[in-house]
Amino acid sequence: MPPPPSKKNQPKWSATEIINQLKNTSWLKKFALPLMLACIYYLLTLIPVSQRLDNCATCSPLKTSINQKLWLGNIVSDGDNKTLFEYIGDPKQSIQVHFDKARLDDNTVNLLKHFLPDTPTSPQPINFNTIQNKDSKTFIKIILRKPTVMPNALYLSPDLIPNKTQPDFKLMADGLAIAIEIVQVKTTENNDSDDKNSLVIGNWHYKLAGIPVTIIPENNTNIVFRFSLTEWNPEKPFEPFYINNENSGVITAQAVGKIATVDEQQTIDDLLCAAPKSEKILWLGSRNFRKGTCPETEKRTSLKLTAFTIGKETVQISATGHAWTKINGELIRDLYTYLKHILENIKQLSNW
User: Residue 104 pLDDT more than 70?
Assistant: yes
Taking residues 35-46, what's their average pLDDT?
72
Q: Is 65 helix (H, G, I), strand (E, B) or coil?
A: coil
Contacts of 210 (CB under 8 A, 6+ apart): 183, 184, 185, 186, 195
Contacts of 139 (CB under 8 A, 6+ apart): 86, 87, 88, 89, 181, 182, 183, 184, 185
In a domain, 90, yes or no: yes
- Residues 298-310 have pLDDT tens digits of 445 678 888 888 8
CB environment 230-239: b (16+ within 10 A), e (fewer): eeeeeeebbe
User: Residue 250 pLDDT more than 50?
Assistant: no
**Percentage with pLDDT > 90 across the chain:** 21
In a domain, 249, yes or no: yes
Among 216-220, 249-253, 279-283, the range of highest mean pLDDT: 216-220
- Residues 74-96 have pLDDT tens digits of 888 777 888 888 888 877 788 89
**pLDDT value of residue 293:** 77
Does residue 268 or residue 18 have the better pLDDT? 268
Query: Please, which pLDDT band fits residue 278 given cuts at 50, 70 and 90?
Result: low
**pLDDT value of residue 299:** 46
In a domain, 274, yes or no: no
Taking residues 196-210, what's their average pLDDT?
85
> Quick one: DSSP state of residue 303?
B
In a domain, 27, yes or no: no
- Quote the CA–CA distance of 34 and 341 in Å, as a whole number: 24
In a domain, 133, yes or no: yes
Contacts of 164 (CB under 8 A, 6+ apart): 234, 312, 313
Query: Is the distance from CB of 256 to CB of 302 less than 8 angstroms?
Result: yes
**pLDDT value of residue 339:** 63
In a domain, 232, yes or no: yes
- When mean pLDDT is compared across 77-81, 107-111, 255-259, 343-347, the lowest value belongs to 343-347
- When mean pLDDT is compared across 159-163, 247-251, 314-318, the lowest value belongs to 247-251
Contacts of 220 (CB under 8 A, 6+ apart): 172, 173, 174
Taking residues 230-237, what's their average pLDDT?
79
How many distinct structural domains can be found in the chain? Answer: 1
**pLDDT value of residue 239:** 85
**pLDDT value of residue 348:** 58
**pLDDT value of residue 147:** 82
User: Residue 105 pLDDT more than 70?
Assistant: yes
Full domain range(s) for residue 154: 64-257+302-321
Taking residues 95-99, what's their average pLDDT?
94
**pLDDT value of residue 335:** 55
- Quote the CA–CA distance of 106 and 95 in Å, as a whole number: 24
- When mean pLDDT is compared across 23-27, 81-85, 90-94, 219-223, the lowest value belongs to 23-27
Does residue 49 or residue 264 have the better pLDDT? 264
**pLDDT value of residue 184:** 80
Q: How many helices (H) and strands (E) does the chain have?
A: 5, 21
- When mean pLDDT is compared across 12-26, 55-69, 105-119, 143-157, the lowest value belongs to 12-26
The radius of gyration of the chain from alpha carbons, rounded to an integer in Å, stands at 29
User: Residue 216 pLDDT more than 70?
Assistant: yes
In a domain, 187, yes or no: yes
Query: Please, which pLDDT band fits residue 261 given cuts at 50, 70 and 90?
Result: very high
Query: Please, which pLDDT band fits residue 281 given cuts at 50, 70 and 90?
Result: very low
In a domain, 332, yes or no: no
- Quote the CA–CA distance of 139 and 137 in Å, as a whole number: 7
Among 52-56, 223-227, 313-317, the range of highest mean pLDDT: 223-227
E strand spans, 69-152:
69-73, 82-88, 94-104, 124-129, 136-144
**pLDDT value of residue 247:** 47
What value, to the nearest 5°, has the Cα angle with vertex 168 and ends 185 and 212? 25
